[in-house]
Amino acid sequence: MLRTARGAIITSTLSTLVVIGGIVAAFVLAPGSRQVRSVYFDVHDMWQAFLGDPHAGFYSVGKGLVINIEMFMIGEVLILGLALVIALIRLSRSPLLFPLRMIAVAYVDFFRGVPLILVILAIGFGLPALYLPFVSSQSAFVYGVLALVLSYSAYVSEVYRAGFNSVPHSQVASARSLGLRPRTAMRYVVLPQAVRTIIPPLLNTFVSLQKDTALVAVLGAVIEANRAAEIYSSTVFNYSGYTVAAILFLLLTIPLARFTDHLIARDRARRLAGVP
């Protein structure tokens, strides 16, 4: 038993070293390696880009990331709310809500089908061009968040819907037979059972939302990490700023990804043990 366990650890360590070593060797020994390293991985440039220097005309990628985090946090809350509304409309049975249901279906189809970057461009440049009061006079930050919310709500509403549909109809029937009002049955019977199905895919979606905040860079006016890196590279003609941005995004998304895996594993263990 011990022998094989130890053997497995040694094997996996060796194979990891071989694979990583191979990748590093290919990178270092490649003909253009020096060039790439100085353009993408220059330590001095990376540090410069991270800190930023307003006098030299470029912004801090590190500070830019704070804006990404802001967009993520605000967007996340709005997405959770809007997606829930869309999902509940789609799940409703009332004939009165038929037109709303059609709109919700069209909404989800549309925003799941259109690439996010096009939504950001359409909202960020389209709304201001309309010269409407209020709607056209918001900051690029607001348009960026709005685009993220519109697009991601479509995905997240589907995550909710799958979760609600995973609760057997017999659960609803017994809640109804006890005289619970639909809202009470939803709150105490359906929702708590649906949440368990919803959480893992929801967190996965948020991992990708975290990095997609970088797409708001196309609006130019929001100096988030990606845009700061872009400005740096066009000022100094060195791409190391992008590398910094990539590293920062990884630092942001990896913990959430690991947390998601942890929840999935724990839920699986509980299911196998038969404890809710």
Partner 1 sequence: MSLREVLPVVRAQTAGTALRIEGVHKSFGQNHVLKGIDLAVDTHQVICLIGASGSGKSTLLRCVDLLETIDAGRIVFFGHDITHPDVDEILVRRQIGMVFQSFNLFPHLRVLRNITLAPVKALGVPVAEAEEEAMSLLRRFGLADKARDYPDRLSGGQQQRVAIIRALAIHPRLMLLDEVTSALDPELVGEVLDVIRELALAGMTMVLATHEMGFAREIATRVVFLEDGVIVEEGPPVQLFDTPRDVRTRRFLGRVLEAGRM
192 is a site residue for partner 1 (CB under 8 A): yes
Residues 6+ apart with CB under 8 A from 124: 140, 143, 144, 147, 216, 218, 219
User: Angle at Cα 174 formed by Cα 170 and Cα 177, nearest 5°?
Assistant: 135
54 is a site residue for partner 1 (CB under 8 A): no
Q: Of these, 15, 137, 139, 184, which contacts partner 1 (CB under 8 A)? A: 184
Q: Helices in the chain by DSSP H: which ranges?
A: 2-29, 33-40, 43-51, 61-91, 98-113, 116-121, 127-129, 140-165, 169-177, 182-185, 191-212, 225-236, 240-273
178 is a site residue for partner 1 (CB under 8 A): yes
Q: Of these, 137, 166, 174, 208, which contacts partner 1 (CB under 8 A)? A: 174
Q: Which is nearer to partner 1, 73 or 173 (CB)?
A: 173
Phi-psi label, residue 107: left if phi above 0, alpha if psi -120 to 50, beta otherwise: alpha
Closest approach, Cβ 197 to partner 1, in A, equals 12
Residues 6+ apart with CB under 8 A from 67: 141, 222, 223, 224, 225
Length of the chain: 276
Q: Which is nearer to partner 1, 110 or 188 (CB)?
A: 188
95 is a site residue for partner 1 (CB under 8 A): no
269 is a site residue for partner 1 (CB under 8 A): no
Closest approach, Cβ 206 to partner 1, in A, equals 24
Q: Which is nearer to partner 1, 4 or 170 (CB)?
A: 170
200 is a site residue for partner 1 (CB under 8 A): no
Q: Of these, 29, 99, 129, 177, which contacts partner 1 (CB under 8 A)? A: 177
Q: Of these, 31, 54, 95, 274, which contacts partner 1 (CB under 8 A)? A: 274
Total Cβ atoms within 10 A of residue 178: 10
Residue 49 CA, distance from chain mean position: 24
Pick the piece of the chain touching partner 1 (CB under 8 A) from 39-47, 91-99, 144-152, 178-186. Answer: 178-186
Pick the piece of the chain touching partner 1 (CB under 8 A) from 29-37, 158-166, 171-179, 212-220. Answer: 171-179
Q: Which is nearer to partner 1, 149 or 189 (CB)?
A: 189
Q: Which of 218, 256, 233, 254 is nearest to 61 (CA)?
A: 233
CA atoms of 40 and 27, how far apart (whole Å): 12
Size of the site for partner 1 (CB under 8 A): 19
Q: Of these, 146, 189, 209, 231, which contacts partner 1 (CB under 8 A)? A: 189
User: Angle at Cα 148 formed by Cα 145 and Cα 152, nearest 5°?
Assistant: 145
Q: Please give the residue ranges that form the binding site for partner 1 (CB under 8 A).
A: 170-171, 173-181, 184, 188-189, 192-193, 274-276
